[in-house]
Structure 1
């Protein structure tokens, strides 16, 4: 299904539940892959959340059983659907400009929880890493799958993943492109469950866990919590690193190497559909 068959107003759904704002990527037929219009809708949703005085916590999730399977590869060759690829990033601009996946360059004043069911891979894991906390259920599958297609991490993945899991584990995941199931995600502290655990996967759907966690966070003294959180973000400035990542990523994209990987991906999908 191409973008012209989609309702732009429904690419991203926003729901308020008390002090919690739920932002849902709503392209289940694409495993919630993000194209340009979806990236812009996500960016706007988080701009609105940050300005909303009645909202304390946001949850980012995906419709139809998957979090996000990355950038929409079919959109790369379609100018109307292509993801934003601007390298302009004013140093003192907050909450920050739009990134290829939407909000990935933003520094918000309030916490965001990723509720991960199903795939959170490629650009999807970059969105999850942008969030402050990642909550998984047994269906979660994370990974740098774009490694297998020759598509670079271009939205903070090479910077945030080592910050979260350490350089050694990050190198394993980034270089191999292998899948990380929910149990391993807990062990390497890439994700948690609620109640907080790095040992045992909670069978409750990730969104339900995230809602319970968000309710807890909303009850805390907000000024203190938000300032402590912001201090952590500002202690790890990533703007320059992300600009270098973007520069190297664009070099990869202009090399043309990724086109073969993408074509193999589409050909493989055609073969699978033909056998059904």
Structure 2
């Protein structure tokens, strides 16, 4: 049976005029090129080269075969391209929206667990839930999105979307390591006079945090308002203030200069779940959400005390 690589080698030998140059161009040895041409001659039963100690002279049969090989090799290239296209089309594309801190700590282990074909079909959009929600639905760009909600405040969504609960994420106190550590167990009195870094007023998260402090009779001294988790942790690290932060949100790593304290009085958590339009709840989407849930179960819980 004719081998396509032998036809490629034949064309290079004719184009360059020698076995040695063709070998250099194709990454073979001169001996390997000579063996390929001999095998091709045996296969078709025709002499392709007149060989001497110093040179090779191609026959007319060699030129004829090379001309016809162009058509054969072109069709082979088309066949390979068609097979690749069919493979890509057979893999379902899932367009997933996710919030930034989730992308930081959950996305790397999720991608490591996914089958390569499924990973190739994943399209990601990172943004805050409130900004991505409009892209989810019958006419939207997203097939599913991972969101969070603190209590019952803030985020709302159409009743046509199906909710898949993934995890409950309790808050801890991010505390500057340079400050004197309070003795455990941590009581509310130990935190009354601290400067705090809180969510920007007017957001759902800020409303829930304010409610917790109000229940405890606290009027926090606010050093900064910030809705970015990494920026908040950076300010805690330099000693600007303490901050309530979601435990899973810091599971990917706590910056130097920050410790986390599990304060029972905080009694605050956020629910993490997926929203999926009913018409887009395919087996592939369901499988992806199950993989996400497993990642969240296995997420390391990192805290200092």
In the superposition, the TM-score normalised over structure 2's length comes to 0.23
In the superposition, the TM-score normalised over structure 1's length comes to 0.25
Higher RCO structure (Cα 8 Å, ≥6 apart): 2
| Greater Rg over alpha carbons, structure | 2
Q: Which is strand-richer, 1 or 2?
A: 2
